[in-house]
Amino acid sequence: MTTRAAAFPGVHVIVPVKNLAGAKSRLTPGIDESARRGLVLAMLEDTLRSLSASPAVSAVTVVTPDAAVAAVATRCGACCVDEQQALIRATADGGASGGPRASLNAALTGAAYRVRDAAAPAHLAFVQADLPSLRPGEFTAAAASAIASAAAPDAPAGHGRAYIADRSGDGTTAVFVSGATTRLRLAFGTDSSRRHAAQGAVALHGSWPGLRADVDTVADLHHVRRLGTGTATAAMLRRIGVPDTNPR
């Protein structure tokens, strides 16, 4: 992707997507598995298109074990890293351990190592794939805020990490890492907002509703419907009976 504005330090974004089998199980029983799969792909498409439209973004990499996810990512102009290859890369540097949460963070870490090996970007961002209401300007503003916080005169030496809590305040929708050698220390999963803060990451408090609106429950679907979504998600919401009243 070549969307970066010349005056803006480019951010390489890494987006994780799990296997579609059993995806978004908290949307059951009202939404069947086929519709949940379609919804995951639609939200991914809208998230990637918003990211690619931000002048802050120099490239996007999707890490996934799923071929259908990889196909959508490629169509949207993103690079793809196989999750198993990312885990192998993380293991080589001691970045992998057991459990689903650890595997997610290890896969992201391994993908980031591969990106750093190939391109050495000055800034990385790790962004959830289910942000269908994300606006390009929100990501641009958040990236600028993260980079500024890392460069502040009173910033601890080498900290370079910032995060965005989801709308509940418990989860995390994005983590920014500034500096080509800054430690990643990712803590996605249950209670991730508190854990990122405990590890020294700076909380970003901007008004970016689309960047905080990830989707796990039916209530979340109604929330993003009210915010407005990208066209792919809007079509899926209509198909499953949650009409989007404010599509973009």
Question: What's the pLDDT tens digit per position in 110-121?
Answer: 999 999 999 889
Please check the confidence at residue 103 and state whether its pLDDT lies above 80.
yes
Contact criterion met (CB below 8 Å) for 26 and 112: no
Q: How far apart are CA 234 and CA 141, in angstroms?
A: 25
Residue 154: phi, psi to the nearest 5?
-95, 10
| More reliable by pLDDT, 99 or 221 | 221
Residues above pLDDT 90, as percent of the chain: 78
Q: In this predicted structure, what is the pLDDT of residue 168?
A: 96
Residues of each annotated binding site: 172, 189, 192
Numbered residues of the known binding site for phosphoenolpyruvate: 172, 189, 192
Q: Say if CB 48 and CB 60 are below 8 A apart.
A: yes
What is the pLDDT confidence band of residue 146, given thresholds at 50, 70 and 90?
very high
- 52 in Cβ contact with 79 (< 8 Å): no
pLDDT reported for residue 1: 37
Cα(145)–Cα(111) distance, integer angstroms = 24
Q: What per-residue confidence (pLDDT) applies to 243?
A: 59
The CATH number that domain 11-22+29-239 falls under is 3.90.550.10
The predicted pLDDT at position 28 comes to 87
Q: What does the DSSP assignment read for the chain?
A: -----TTS--EEEEEE---STTTTGGGTTTS-HHHHHHHHHHHHHHHHHHHHTSTTEEEEEEEES-HHHHHHHHHTT-EEEEHHHHHHHHHHTT---SSHHHHHHHHHHHHHHHHHHHH--SEEEEE-S--TT--HHHHHHHHHHHHHHHH-TTSPTT--EEEEE-TTSSSEEEEEEESTT-------STTHHHHHHHTTPEEP----HHHH---SSHHHHHHHHHH---HHHHHHHHHTT---SS--
pLDDT class of 91 with cuts at 50, 70, 90: confident
Q: What is the pTM of this model?
A: 0.91
The per-residue pLDDT for 51 is: 99
pLDDT above 70: percentage of residues in the chain: 88
**How far is Cα 149 from Cα 178, in angstroms, rounded to an integer?**
9
Would you say residue 3 has pLDDT above 70?
Answer: no
Stronger pLDDT, 242 or 119, i.e. the higher one:
119
Residue-range domain boundaries for the chain? 11-22+29-239
pLDDT at 242: 80
The pLDDT of 154-174, averaged and rounded, is: 87
